[in-house]
Amino acid sequence: MLAHVKECAPLEACGLLAGKDGAVSRVFLIKNQAHSPEKFKMEPVEQVQALHWMDTNRLDLLAIFHSHPTGPEILSTTDIAEAAYEVVQIIWSPSETWQAHAFWIEKGRLCNVELEITDG
Catalytic residues: 12
For the chain, how many residues are written?
A: 120
Residues 6+ apart with CB under 8 A from 112: 101, 102, 103
Q: How far is CA 94 from the centre of its chain?
A: 15
DSSP-assigned states of every residue in 40-94: --B-HHHHHHHHHHHHHTT-EEEEEEEE-TT--SS--HHHHHH--SSSEEEEEEE
CA dist 15 and 62 (Å) reads: 11
